[in-house]
Chains A and B, each alone.
Chain A
């Protein structure tokens, strides 16, 4: 299709580097290398459903929202609603940060502002399913205070990034 980037794998250099690291480790300490490989395989299996979810969610967003609507809700003039959406999305999103890169990249290409990406990534520090465990280890007060500062800190970081980007233009 016209205007679309041709298909190309990304991160080929990184995967070659990691492969070389595994080979080197295997030569020096095969047991550790196998353990690392097992860990990686376990991670892949664990986050496959999250990858599937991100693929479907990205497709649904592209299907339901037109680029203009994405700009309206998450773009430069999205206002308070945009910050709130990023904050909530960060808190409820699950899985590792890198699982969300494809969706963030796609939304960004449609006008998602950078400040909201920063808010999304930092607000992910609040892990809803793990809150009971955090309360168990550190207490209710600590969990509430930390969560409150995370939310405020996320917004301030998003604002600072946009100021920095604006000044460096």
Chain B
């Protein structure tokens, strides 16, 4: 069958691969300023929010550091490998596993600098809910991981 009925009962013609490619390329092209804006912000944050600055934020208190770790990871930008390197260093400096877990997890799950783009594409309410959930769950998962590790040792 070449097409199928839509919800209103009209026959929908299946797009050719060329048409589908053109459509997705156009949609992507329309989003170029948004994506370049985010990339520009990432470039800026990588220079302005250095690993040294991030490491200096931790205070040595497990609860406060878990919150700081989540916020710092969400603010940071760049390859997750950097968060592992930094996380390893922080552990060596005596920072709790709670905080380090929160830090490396929020590095990849939260992106404060992506927020404007995410809200533009997926809507403000969705972005708000998703990021609040990700923020809370990052801390919960960090605590659970550390507690499970302690129980196993």
Contacts and interface: CB of A to CB of B under 8 A. Distances in A.
Contacts of B125: 168
Interface in A124-153: 124-125, 127, 130, 133-134, 137-138, 141-142, 145-146, 149-150, 153
Contacts, number: 210
Given A122-B109, A149-B141, A11 B35 contact: yes
Q: Which one of A11, A12, A35, A130 has the highest number of Cβ atoms from chain B below 10 Å of its Cβ?
A: A11
B53 interface: no
Contacts of A98: 35, 38, 111, 114, 117-118
Interface residues of A, number: 75
B56 interface: no
A17 B16 CA distance: 39
Interface of A: 7-12, 14-15, 17-19, 21-22, 25, 32, 35-41, 43-44, 47, 51, 54-56, 58-60, 62-63, 66-68, 96-99, 101-106, 108, 114, 117-118, 121-122, 124-125, 127, 130, 133-134, 137-138, 141-142, 145-146, 149-150, 153, 156-157, 160-161, 164-165, 168
A19 B26 CA distance: 24
A79 to B, nearest CB: 20
A51 B35 CA distance: 10
B37 A66 contact: no
B23 A10 contact: no
Contact of A101 (B43, B118, B141): B118
Chain A binding surface, main DSSP class? helix
A149 B27 contact: no
B130 A161 contact: yes
Contact of B46 (A9, A18, A39, A51): A39
Given A40-B40, A98-B35, A146-B101, 19 more contacts: A9-B30, A14-B116, A14-B117, A18-B41, A25-B44, A39-B43, A44-B36, A58-B24, A62-B20, A67-B6, A99-B35, A105-B27, A121-B109, A125-B105, A134-B84, A145-B149, A150-B105, A161-B126, A161-B129
A14 B27 contact: no
A160 B141 contact: no
Counting chain B residues whose Cβ lies within 8 A of the other chain, the interface size class is: 35 or more
Interface of B: 4, 6, 12, 14-17, 20-21, 23-28, 30-44, 46-48, 80-81, 84-85, 87-88, 91, 97, 101, 105, 108-109, 111, 114, 116-118, 120-122, 125-126, 129-130, 133-134, 137, 140-141, 144-145, 148-149, 152
B34 A14 contact: yes
Nearest to A19: B40
Contacts of A36: 40, 43-44, 46-48
A99 B118 CA distance: 11
Contacts of A63: 14-17, 20
